[in-house]
Each structure stands twice: as structure tokens, then as C-alpha cells.
């Protein structure tokens, strides 16, 4: 089986950049790597992207259920699902997972209920490792404002402050292998720290 690694953080934390960096390091080291993300490119993912962009209106509870639906399909679909890829020996790097549902929708829709939708579902795999890329809400907004022309519904400093606090609640609450990374450092330093932590986590399996 391959390894399932998730990258989490508030908007603007640099997840996409660091996923690409780790993927290159692992590929250069001879590993098969597959990059994926949530929302997915499926029907459920499209509904979610429209809601996050503010094109359609969904309540926090509706979003939580939609994300759980999308996540189940992400795991079990027979074409490029997480389970299939892992069975083929891929290291799967995923941009967001159930930690985001707990942090984003859990603060409004009921933390324990959102937790039950995800942690209690046998078709939603627990990651082998999660990197939480931590940046302050101020830095998040600076990066969002400098890098994007449009904003999603959660991309406001007060919202990101609450979401970051809830992320830390998630980290304390779950018995998952979660590594907190200071993502306010320069990109290369962050990338090197992530790879160092990856090697520690999989020291008996790294090629």
C-alpha cells in the first residue's frame, strides 16, 4: 500500500506550493506520487466549488454533508479514488480533507455532528500523516489579496481567525498523526521542514 498524506491550513497558507515541492522530492526519490484535492472534480465537487465561490447559497450544514459525500466518493471511486491509488502503490498527496470540514463547517454546523459524519464513516480513510501549515490570519489575507482577483466565502480575516482556532481544536481532539509547520517562513525552509518530517514519519519505508 502507498501512503496517504494530507495538507491542511487556512486559505493562503501555501498548501499547493508545498504539495508540489514534496511531490518533486518524492518523485526524484523514486516514489510514485499522485496529487489530489478537495473539493474533487466530481459532480459533488462542482456543487461545492460553486457554493464556496458564492455562486450558490448553501448553509453550513448543507456544506458539511456535501463535503462528506464528496469525500466518500474521493475514497471509493473505481477510477482514481484514494483507495485504488494506494493499492497501486502511489503516495497520495491531498490538498484538504476532513480536518477542513471540522474547522470550517464545524464551527457553525456543530463540531460533534460534523465529526460524526467523517470520523464515523468507514469509507473515509484516516490519513497516514497530515501537515498543518500554520499562518496568522493577517498573513493569510495578505497572500490572498496579493495572489487572487476573487475571494471565496470564508476568505475574511475574522472568519480565518475563528477557523484557525478551530483547526487547533481539531488537532487537540483527534488521535491523528498531525505535524504543525510554521508556514510563515520562506518557501524553501518550509519545504525542507516538511520533507524532514516526512522522512521521520516513514523512516522505515522511504526508498
Return averaged pLDDT per consecutive 10 residues of the chain, 207 residues in all. 96 94 97 97 95 93 97 97 98 98 94 95 98 93 77 79 94 97 96 97 70
pLDDT of residue 146: 83
pLDDT of residue 141: 84
Nearest alpha carbon to residue 194 among 36, 81, 3, 26: 26
Q: What is the 3-state secondary structure (H, E, C) of 132-180?
A: EEECCHHHHHHHHHHHCCCCCCCCCHHHHHHHHHHHHHHHHHCCCCEEE
Q: In what order do the strands lie in the sheet with 91-95?
A: 33-37, 91-95, 4-8, 129-134, 178-182
pLDDT of residue 206: 47
Distance CA 136, CA 134 (A): 7
Buried b (16+ CB within 10 A) or exposed e, 81-106: bbbbbbeeebbbbbbbbbbbbbbbbb
pLDDT of residue 207: 46
pTM of the full structure? 0.93
SS3 label, residue 44: helix
Q: Enumerate residues 6+ apart whose C-beta is below 8 A from 179.
A: 129, 130, 131, 132, 197, 201
Amino acid at each position: 500500500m502507498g501512503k496517504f498524506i494530507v495538507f491542511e491550513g487556512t486559505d493562503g497558507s501555501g498548501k499547493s506550493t508545498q504539495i508540489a515541492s514534496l511531490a518533486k522530492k518524492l518523485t526524484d526519490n523514486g516514489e510514485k506520487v499522485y496529487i489530489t484535492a478537495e473539493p474533487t472534480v466530481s459532480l459533488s465537487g462542482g456543487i461545492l466549488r460553486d457554493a464556496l465561490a458564492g455562486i450558490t447559497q448553501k448553509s453550513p450544514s448543507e456544506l458539511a454533508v456535501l463535503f462528506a459525500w464528496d469525500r466518500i466518493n474521493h475514497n471509493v471511486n473505481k477510477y482514481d479514488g484514494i483507495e485504488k491509488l494506494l493499492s497501486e502503490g502511489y503516495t497520495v498527496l491531498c490538498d484538504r480533507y476532513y480536518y477542513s470540514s471540522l474547522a470550517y463547517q464545524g464551527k457553525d454546523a456543530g463540531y460533534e455532528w460534523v465529526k460524526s459524519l467523517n470520523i464515523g464513516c468507514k469509507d473515509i480513510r484516516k490519513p497516514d500523516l497530515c501537515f498543518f501549515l500554520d499562518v496568522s490570519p493577517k498573513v493569510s489575507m495578505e497572500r490572498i489579496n496579493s495572489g487572487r482577483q476573487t475571494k471565496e466565502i470564508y476568505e475574511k480575516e475574522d472568519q480565518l481567525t475563528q477557523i484557525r482556532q478551530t483547526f487547533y481544536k481539531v488537532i487537540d481532539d483527534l488521535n491523528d498523526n498531525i505535524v504543525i509547520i510554521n508556514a510563515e517562513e520562506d518557501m524553501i525552509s518550509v519545504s525542507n521542514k516538511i520533507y524532514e518530517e516526512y522522512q521521520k514519519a516513514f523512516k522505515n519505508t522511504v526508498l
